[in-house]
Amino acid sequence: MNGILQVFYIIFSALLLSAGIPNEILYLGSPFLGLFALVPFYLALRSARTFRRAGLLTGLHFGLMQLLSSFWLGNFKDFAIFTVGGPTIAYAIEGLIFGRFFHAALAFLDYTPEEAKLQDASFRGAGKTLKRVFFFAAIYSIWEWTKSVGFLAYPWGTLIMTSFQSKLLIQIVDITGTWAISFLWSLFAATLAEGIALYSIYQPRLNYLVKRMYFCIVMITFSLFVLDFIYGAVQYTKPRVIAKTADIAVIQHNTDTWSEDGDSESVLAAERMTAKAMLEPVKPDLVCWSESILNYAFPDSYFYYETSPAKKPFIHFIKETEVPYATGAPLYFIENGQQKFYNGVVVFDKNAVITGMSGKIHLVPFAEYVPLMDKAWFRKIMDALVGFSTGWSQWKQYAVYSVPLKTGDSLNFSVPICFEDAFPDICRNFYNLGAEALLSISNDSWSNLKSAEYQHFVIAAFRAIELRTTLVRTTNSGYSGAVDARGRIIADLPLFEEAEMVTTIPVYEHKPTAYAVFGDWIVIFFGLICALYFADCAAATYKKH
């Protein structure tokens, strides 16, 4: 395969994958497109003859995927240069590195291309072909895990997101996390692509050993999908113990919370929606408002909100409704002589007494947090380049809140802020600390696109299945809704509209899943197997030369 065709395959693969991820047409994504998306990617890498070439092709694929799937980051106002450019460049660079691992897995390190072709038809070559398929899938899973953890973590634009509507096939995430989905989907693509590659090499007649070897690969892949399906069917239909229920008011006020005119319009809109929710037959146990709806920092601003908005002061409104609230708000503290601002959540009881506050633990890279921003010289550069030099501070502690229920029981919950509901490690820690439900608050209205809202929802919904708990999302403009322990949408609101609902959510028996206990164990397993394989290949190459 020549270089131009390789680049075409890379672009085609990126287009397929971005079409399979939730977008402006397929709101919840397409498992079908996801299964086939990596076939051209595999074929391009399989034909790459050098580490450098494989690295460049992989870097192009990773960078393109970021742009094609998350183009809406360009609407992130003053931060667009960072939210679009920063991750795209970073993932392209990571692709240069991962491409070398892909090449090591797909190429024969101890044979020339001519010798490799002969080995394909040998007994030893049959085993190596199986390894090619397996290690491609393992490395791709490790890549999606790498993309989803750490400072640059960004779980969007992943193969995982294409699978959401395959409810029976994604139930396995309560054991493995989403990384098994990444492995299975990429394994399917690799198996198909390997068959295409072998046929193109040996047509019109395939060597018997090659046929037998490829049949074994197909059967292994098929068997893994069957096992996944059976497990999913059992888990999806299995009765789950509901310990209690809670009535949650989800308020979607649909206003511009980034307005420079203050937050009166947003607060009044949310109060209006809340008042309508209070007319529902069922009185809520808790009212949830979205991220950043309040502009002034707590705890000091408590007194400000006793008189603001002038038409209906927020604190007095809480007292009138006599219901606990959880709402997004900035936090301000002086720590070690330094001013610290946090993107946070404040929880009030029915008498408007603050019962807890916490901030965002995982900040948006290059937007909410820019490295070196604590250095005076760097702040001067930022002021000169983009006109700002401040950001949020990182909260250090996980918080679990409790509100009383009308039944006399109580609900223990945690509040992932913004895109924190996309991160398994954060939600896992909340759950392991005793959270019985996750009540996420977010503001994606700045995106102005449905694809951004649905992508955020889909990646967050996996947390409910991983932990077998309920996830409730309260957003500024969407996608607000509730997801049960099977990953089913049990309630939702329309996008970009003022809307409210009181939804009765199941609160399941707090019983840790395998994933809640062991975390990303499967990624560690893949990493160890790959490390041993590459070490063996390196030793064989060294011995030969």
pLDDT tens figures, 438-491: 999 999 888 889 999 999 999 999 999 999 999 999 999 989 999 999 999 999
Question: Helix crossing, 179-202 with 113-120: angle to 10°?
Answer: 100
Dist CA 196 CA 212 (whole Å): 15
Tell me the pLDDT tens digit for each residue of 94-122: 999 999 999 988 875 444 444 445 444 44
Residue 2: pLDDT band with limits 50, 70, 90: confident
H/E stretch holding 88: helix 80-106
How many residues would you count in the chain? 545
Q: What is residue 110's predicted lDDT score, i.e. its pLDDT?
A: 40
- Range with the poorest average pLDDT among 199-203, 298-302, 460-464: 199-203
DSSP class per residue in 128-176: HHHHHHHHHHHHHHHHHHHHTSSTT----S-GGGGGTT-TTTSTTHHHH
Tell me the pLDDT tens digit for each residue of 165-180: 999 999 999 999 999 9
Measuring CA to CA, how many Å separate 216 from each of 123, 133, 476? 13, 12, 51
Query: Does the reported pTM lie above 0.75?
Result: yes
Question: Helix crossing, 424-432 with 450-467: angle to 10°?
Answer: 40
Compute the mean pLDDT over every residue in the chain, rounded to the nearest whole number: 89
Q: Which residues pair with 358 in a beta bridge?
A: 345
For residue 516, is pLDDT > 80? yes
Q: Could you tell me which residue, 339 or 301, shows the higher pLDDT?
A: 301
DSSP class per residue in 14-62: HHHHHHHSS-SSSTT--HHHHHHTTHHHHHHHHH--SHHHHHHHHHHHH
Q: What is residue 203's predicted lDDT score, i.e. its pLDDT?
A: 59
Residue 78: pLDDT band with limits 50, 70, 90: low
Residue 437: pLDDT band with limits 50, 70, 90: very high
For residue 153, is pLDDT > 50? yes
Tell me the pLDDT tens digit for each residue of 381-415: 655 554 544 678 889 999 999 999 999 999 999 99
Rounded mean pLDDT of 369-376?
A: 64
H/E stretch holding 506: strand 499-508
**Catalytic residue list:** 291, 360, 418
**261: exposed, middle or buried (C-beta count within 10 Å: 0-12, 13-18, 19+)?**
exposed
Radius of gyration of the chain (CA): 25
Start-end of H helices in 387-491: 424-432, 450-467
Q: What is residue 423's predicted lDDT score, i.e. its pLDDT?
A: 95
Tell me the pLDDT tens digit for each residue of 203-226: 555 566 777 888 899 999 999 999
